[in-house]
Amino acid sequence: MSVSSVLRDSRQHPTRLVGGLVAVLCLASWTNLITADDKAATSNPPAAEGTPVRLNEAGTVLLDKKNKRVLLKTHVVLQQGALEMLVCKKQTKEHEAILAVDAQAYVIHAGLLAIDAKPGTPFRFDNGYHPPTGQKIDIFLSWTDDKGKSHRVPARSWIRQAINRFWVVKMESLPEGVTLPKTSELRFDRKLKELSWYGSMTTRERDAFLALSKDKAFREAILSFFEQSQQREMQADWVFAGSGFYVDEDTGNKYYLAEDGDLICVANFSGAMLDLSSESSATNAERNYEAYTDRIPPKGTEVLVELIPVAEKAPAKPTEKTGK
């Protein structure tokens, strides 16, 4: 049996994939892109060099069982804008993902299972919001810049809290004597009774607005806009939610939902393979995260993605009481 035949069979029978692949995988040459000469690599040293094996014919998904990681060969498709994904499948959601990979989702899922990653469940609404569950997965990104220097950073460093958005505070009226500059992003809607701000507020802008009035509510609103609009790297963790299956009513065949493109998400999706462990809206109007543009290399840059399951800590043993 060949790798391709195992993959074809697993499209209809996904549970057979891991066993089939393990039986037929052959060693493949692979030049590891990770080096230790970058400052980021010093603080996050790469795993010891192993010998990855190909999990698909394109060689874009590799299994490094020795170092318990799955490697994805991707490329940058977006540097700026609101995000729903860190990584999507090629030709699916490139308009809202930083990276794309030419691979089937179930192959990546199988690779994680092969290194004993434990899948959980995608998010759901059932008498309230229930976050995704599953084993925590650390993600690192490695690439070489146009000067030949190698880099390795945590994936979250390419994602920030959305600042290109509106912040709104309810307010009955502007303080007496306050006139807002027409050239600023600070607006007051008399009909809706809302004070709003768009984008990132600078320290100079904050101080200029605070100087307009000593009114407590107005000043608190300005300070709130300033605080919320500062650039913040994403802090949430990814978990192996595991997506789910769609059953074709005509054939009875099961299809893996993440094949629609929802590989590594930063907005909660019911079909996500990897998702954030905290609530993050998937609606276009309220997406929580955007690309950290200044940190992302140019479009087309080849990037190696490492998926590393984080071992769960054993519960602490109870200590014996001395009775004293």
- The full DSSP string for 281-302 is --STTS--EEE-GGGSPPTT-E
User: 171 pLDDT exceeds 90?
Assistant: yes
Weakest-pLDDT range from 61-75, 97-111, 302-316: 302-316
Q: In the chain, pLDDT over 90 holds for what percent of residues?
A: 65
As a whole number, the mean pLDDT across the chain is: 83
User: 107 pLDDT exceeds 90?
Assistant: yes
Amino acid present at 88: C
Q: Residue range 77-91: average pLDDT? A: 96
User: 286 pLDDT exceeds 60?
Assistant: no
Helices and strands per DSSP (H, E), number in the chain: 6, 20
Q: Cα(281)–Cα(268) distance, rounded to whole angstroms?
A: 6
Weakest-pLDDT range from 45-54, 64-73, 279-288: 279-288
> pLDDT at position 318, please?
66
Q: Cα(254)–Cα(244) distance, rounded to whole angstroms?
A: 9
Q: Cα(202)–Cα(59) distance, rounded to whole angstroms?
A: 46
User: 46 pLDDT exceeds 60?
Assistant: no
User: 7 pLDDT exceeds 70?
Assistant: no
Q: Residue range 29-45: average pLDDT? A: 33
Greater model confidence, 221 or 254:
221
Alpha-helix runs per DSSP H in the chain: 3-12, 17-24, 39-43, 105-114, 203-210, 216-228
Is 303:109 a contact under the CB 8 Å cutoff? no
3-state helix, strand, coil in the chain (%, to 5): 20, 25, 50
The SS3 assignment for 156 reads helix
Q: Residue range 184-195: average pLDDT? A: 95
Q: Cα(64)–Cα(33) distance, rounded to whole angstroms?
A: 14
Q: Alpha carbon 180 to chain centroid distance? A: 38
Q: Which residues pair with 307 in a beta bridge?
A: 70, 139
Question: Per-residue confidence at 136, pLDDT binned at 50, 70, 90?
Answer: very high
> pLDDT at position 288, please?
85
User: 284 pLDDT exceeds 90?
Assistant: no
> pLDDT at position 316, please?
64
What distance separates the 2 farthest-apart alpha carbons in the chain?
Answer: 81
User: 30 pLDDT exceeds 90?
Assistant: no
Greater model confidence, 152 or 254:
152
> pLDDT at position 49, please?
53
Q: State the distance between the two ends of the chain, measured CA to CA, in whole angstroms.
A: 68
Q: Residue range 82-94: average pLDDT? A: 96
> pLDDT at position 314, please?
64
Which residue matches tokens 């092969």?
114
Q: Cα(179)–Cα(234) distance, rounded to whole angstroms?
A: 36
Q: Cα(145)–Cα(126) distance, rounded to whole angstroms?
A: 46
Angle at which helix 17-24 crosses helix 105-114, to 10 degrees, equals 80
Reported in sequence order, the residue ranges of 150-193 that DSSP labels E, i.e. its strands, are 150-154, 159-161, 166-170, 187-189
Q: Residue range 265-287: average pLDDT? A: 78
Q: Cα(238)–Cα(212) distance, rounded to whole angstroms?
A: 43
Q: Residue range 25-30: average pLDDT? A: 29
> pLDDT at position 26, please?
30
Q: Which residues pair with 161 in a beta bridge?
A: 289
User: 10 pLDDT exceeds 50?
Assistant: no
How big is the CA angle at 8 (ends 67 and 244), to the nearest 5 degrees?
70
> pLDDT at position 279, please?
76
> pLDDT at position 312, please?
79
Q: Which residues pair with 255 in a beta bridge?
A: 246
Structure tokens belonging to residue 60: 């874009």
